[in-house]
Amino acid sequence: MRRYGKLKARIGLGLVLSVVLGAGVASAKVQVLPETKLLVEGKKVTGQSGLLRHPVVKGLLAAFERAESGLQKEEIDTLMQFYAPAYDYHGLKQADVRRVWGEVFEHYKALESLHLFSDIKVLNLDGKLRVEVTCTGGLYGTDEQRGKRVTLDSWFHEIHYLVKDGESWRFLGNAGEVPAGAPFSSAPHHPLF
């Protein structure tokens, strides 16, 4: 419980710093937390330097960095390369995500996301590599009408599923429940990362 509290405090601080400092930072915010555990074929890899050198972690970081680059440049085609053809989040497919990103780009500027990885599990399912990444983070932008910085979405210990597609990792979807109800005016941003 004590370790969980420290992790929660560190993540909270990271989110606060992201919101406070976010508008002026040009690089992507994808971080493997020091406490992160990598599980590959039942073997744990620990230690920050070992994790960051591992080819799976390097590939995941590169995939999220490419997505962040597309996000910040508002290049929907670049951003959509992050999504696997089989992407499915409770019935939302790639075409749905493209539409939602188009709406986000229309109404918000200076977009950026934050991804803090706390656990990574590598699985081999039917000869395909797949990862489950426990992630905390958010999606932020400046509302074009009001000019205010806003949080478009946030998540805590969400599990992102990615699959190895050629040389790149691509996003399959998230674990978790679909909200029972959302205000009519809200856009379904949550499936985006």
Cβ–Cβ < 8 Å for 82, 67 = yes
- The torsion angles phi and psi of 96, rounded to 5 degrees, stand at -65, -40
Cβ–Cβ < 8 Å for 124, 41 = yes
pLDDT, tens digit (0-9, with 9 covering 90-100), for 49-62:
889 999 999 999 99
Distance between CA 19 and CA 167 in Å, rounded? Answer: 33
Backbone Cα Rg of the chain? 16
Q: Among 27-41, 44-58, 91-105, where is mean pLDDT lowest?
A: 27-41
What predicted TM-score, i.e. pTM, was given to this entire model?
0.78
What architecture is the 2-177+187-192 domain classified under in CATH?
A: Roll (3.10)
Domain spans of the chain, in order of start = 2-177+187-192
* CA dist list (Å): 171 to 18, 20, 109: 23, 28, 23
Tell me how far apart the terminal alpha carbons of the chain are, to the nearest angstrom: 28
Tokens of 47: 């230690």
pLDDT band at 89; cut points 50, 70, 90: confident
